[in-house]
């Protein structure tokens, strides 16, 4: 009998049979409160009836229409609907299947548009697992181990992570921007730099929100040198942070946005958005793939946008996010060095008595939570941050239940 690769490290013992709202039902007959949402994907909750209906109807109408051959209605309608939520000026979109592909699309576009070879990424960033995306990922050595050489032209600058250095946010930001200028002056000339690629909140890197001064510093340098600012909104987009896009917390507008995850409630769909003028600089034939912008995924995405609006999920993410972050801060005992987040991205960083990353206790806590019926994940370079990313439909009662389980877990570990 064939078995799943033992290299797939499964975070919980759950075999999911069915999902509904914020719950997953396992083959063990148990109900689990899902605070992982398929890693920030099922924002409308598992199997939202409106999304299910839209997908079912589309399956029976047209499943696939490859967009370099024929356009189709769901693709056109989704394009126009995205125009209502994207920042002004980002009026052109392009679709792929996964987050990594969207990151690669943004990289290709930035290099083609500027004619420059280099990209600057930020320490602790995660951008995916294809070779180019993994080359731009610095949130853990595990993501690029064993398949060097990686893509050339990637330089890494600091992200302002105050907690790690025992600094204030101001000190961390000053340091990050100073180092960026030093990188410009030494190893990566601005005139050879195509793009900054950055997450509004480090996701896999440990749920570290950026800040206004930092992103405005990037925007100023981008404008001064003709560098494109790419915001990787794959984990932070579609309401997750309590605003429609994460960068909207920081008063900057990017040149390119990558999107995936929360876009289509679990159907594989990703994309990039940019100005029409910029998007026109992509070389014909260099972007795209067989399955990008699949008709069923687009129909699910349209329904997802409708649910986000009709059920006020962005506002709910902001309110429930504050409840969750405050609760996690109140509950944190000695084992946790920092609790941080933005909206419904909340991370608790486990540290040892001498301040070192404590992966062992983070893993124990995450696994004990699953036994108690609460699904959580870890993240961070040392996998010592336990993260909570519930569906955006989560209720105040469900947040209280999760916090109560979390409190019991912390007492026991």
- Where on the chain is the footprint of ligand PMP (CB under 6 A)? 39, 98-100, 103, 126-128, 199, 203-204, 232, 234-235, 260
Q: Tell me the closest approach of the beta carbon of residue 268 to ligand PMP, in angstroms.
A: 8
Question: How far apart (Å, rounded) are the C-alpha atoms in residues 105 and 108?
Answer: 5
Do 271 and 96 contact (CB within 8 A), yes or no?
yes
CB of residue 131 to ligand PMP, shortest distance in Å: 12
Q: How far is the CB of 235 from ligand PMP (least distance, A)?
A: 4
Rounded Cα–Cα distance for residues 265 and 303 (Å): 9
* Cα 23 versus chain centre, distance: 21
User: Judged by CB, which is closer to ligand PMP: 74, or 237?
Assistant: 237
Q: Quote the DSSP letter at residue 21.
A: B
Strands 118-122 and 154-157 come out as: parallel
Question: Nearest distance from residue 31's CB to ligand PMP, in Å?
Answer: 26
| Burial of residue 225, with CB atoms counted within 10 A of its CB: 0-12 exposed, 13-18 middle, 19 or more buried | middle
Instruction: Identify the DSSP state of 245.
Output: S
What is the edge-to-edge ordering of all strands in the sheet holding 345-350? 336-342, 345-350, 385-388, 377-379
The residues facing 350 across adjacent strands are: 336
Q: Which is nearer to ligand PMP, 260 or 318 (CB)?
A: 260
Closer residue to ligand PMP (CB): 132 or 177: 132
Beta strands in 249-320 (DSSP E): 256-259, 270-274
In the complex with ligand PMP, which residue's Cβ is closer, 125 or 153?
Answer: 125
Please check whether residue 160 is in contact with residue 173, taking contact to mean a CB–CB distance below 8 angstroms: yes
Collapsing DSSP to helix, strand or coil, 386 comes out as: strand
State in angstroms the smallest separation of the CB of 98 from ligand PMP.
Answer: 4
Q: Which residue is nearest to ligand PMP (CB)?
A: 99
Strand (E) or helix (H) holding 118 = strand 118-122
Compute the least distance from the CB of residue 291 to ligand PMP, in Å.
13
In angstroms, what is the minimal distance from the CB of 148 to ligand PMP? 20
The C-alpha atoms of residue 345 and residue 377 are separated, in whole angstroms, by 12
Smaller CB distance to ligand PMP: residue 103 or 388? 103
Nearer to ligand PMP among residue 233 and residue 327 (C-beta): 233
Cβ closest to ligand PMP, residue 98 vs residue 114 = 98
- Decide: helix, strand or coil at residue 392: coil
The answer to whether 388 touches 328, Cβ cutoff 8 Å, is yes
Cβ distance to ligand PMP smaller for residue 269 or 368: 269
Cβ closest to ligand PMP, residue 199 vs residue 358: 199
- Min separation Cβ 97 and ligand PMP, Å: 8
Q: Is the dihedral of CA 137, 244, 392, 292 positive or negative?
A: negative
Whole-number Cα distances in Å, 195 to 111, 127, 161, 280, 385: 8, 14, 21, 17, 29
Cβ 233 to ligand PMP, closest distance in Å? 8
């Amino acid at each position: 009998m064939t078995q799943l690769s033992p290299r797939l490290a499964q975070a919980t013992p759950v075999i999911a049979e069915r999902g509904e709202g914020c719950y997953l039902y396992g083959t063990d007959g148990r109900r689990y409160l899902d605070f992982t949402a398929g890693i920030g994907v099922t924002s409308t909750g598992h199997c939202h009836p409106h999304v299910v209906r839209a997908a079912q109807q589309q399956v029976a109408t047209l499943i696939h229409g490859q967009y370099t051959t024929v356009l189709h209605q769901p693709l056109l309608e989704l394009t126009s609907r995205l125009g209502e939520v994207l920042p002004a000026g980002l009026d052109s979109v392009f679709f792929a299947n996964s987050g990594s592909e969207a990151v690669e699309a943004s990289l290709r576009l930035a290099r083609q548009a500027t004619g420059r070879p280099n990209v600057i990424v930020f320490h602790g960033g995660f951008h995916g697992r294809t070779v180019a995306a993994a080359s731009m990922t610095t949130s853990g050595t595990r993501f690029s181990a064993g398949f060097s050489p990686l893509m050339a032209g990637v330089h890494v600058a600091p992200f302002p992570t105050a907690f790690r250095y025992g600094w204030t946010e101001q000190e961390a930001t000053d340091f990050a921007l100073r180092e960026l200028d030093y990188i410009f002056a030494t190893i990566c000339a601005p005139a050879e730099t195509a793009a900054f690629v950055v997450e509004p909140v480090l996701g896999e890197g440990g749920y570290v929100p950026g800040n206004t001064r930092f992103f405005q510093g990037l925007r100023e340098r981008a404008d001064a040198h003709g560098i494109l600012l790419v915001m990787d909104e794959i984990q932070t987009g579609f309401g997750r942070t309590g605003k429609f896009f994460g960068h909207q917390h920081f008063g900057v507008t990017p040149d390119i946005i990558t999107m995936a995850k929360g876009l289509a409630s679990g159907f594989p769909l990703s994309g990039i958005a940019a100005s029409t003028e910029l998007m026109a600089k992509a070389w014909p034939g260099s972007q795209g793939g067989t399955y990008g912008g699949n008709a069923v995924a687009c129909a699910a995405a349209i329904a997802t946008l409708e649910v986000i609006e009709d059920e006020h999920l962005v506002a709910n993410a902001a309110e429930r996010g504050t409840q969750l972050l405050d609760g996690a801060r109140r509950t944190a005992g000695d084992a946790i060095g920092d609790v941080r987040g933005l909206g419904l991205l909340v991370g608790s960083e486990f540290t040892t008595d001498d301040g070192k990353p404590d992966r062992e206790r983070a893993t124990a806590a995450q696994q004990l939570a699953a036994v108690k019926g609460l699904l959580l994940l870890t993240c961070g370079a040392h996998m010592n941050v336990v993260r909570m990313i519930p569906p955006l439909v989560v209720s105040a009662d469900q947040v209280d239940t999760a916090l109560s389980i979390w409190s019991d877990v912390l007492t026991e570990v």
